[in-house]
Amino acid sequence: MTRKPLKGIFFDFGNTLIAEEPDKHLWEMAVVPLPHAVEVLTELKPRFRLGIISNTVGSGDAELAAVLERAGMLRLIDALVTSRDFGRAKPDPAIYVEGARRLGVALACTCMVG
């Protein structure tokens, strides 16, 4: 079996890129990137398409994009999918298929971190 080349990397948002604050909506959080999160994304960006797939309840794609902008990470992200706006949540395969579509890469050429 031939291994497909990695072209896209998905990250979870809470507790993978930022410190999650339980019981708070995205717009209420301090939005502090975890140590080295921005550096890791910056290092990966030239070689891979980067996306975020996040299970959210009260926040959608626009709210997540605004938070990423405040955290200085939006410029590093090529696509994002929130469960609230998409209508399906992880681990449903459909949310990963949608993420790959938004990244413009085959699902078989992606991985999920977080």
Query: Is 79 a member of any domain?
Result: yes
What is the per-residue pLDDT across 96-112, written as a single tens digit (0 to 9) for each?
Answer: 999 999 999 999 999 99
The 10 Å CB-count burial string (b at 16+, else e) for 77-99 is bbbbbbbbebeebbeeeebbebb
Overall average pLDDT of the 77-94 stretch = 97
Q: 72 is in which domain, residue-wise?
A: 8-113
Query: Is 2 a member of any domain?
Result: no
pLDDT at position 1 = 66
Specify the CATH number for the domain of residue 107: 3.40.50.1000
Domain count, the chain: 1
pLDDT at position 58 = 82
pLDDT at position 30 = 75
Query: Is 68 a member of any domain?
Result: yes
Query: Are the C-beta atoms of residues 42 and 75 closer than 8 Å to each other?
Result: no
* Tokens, residue 9: 């990397």
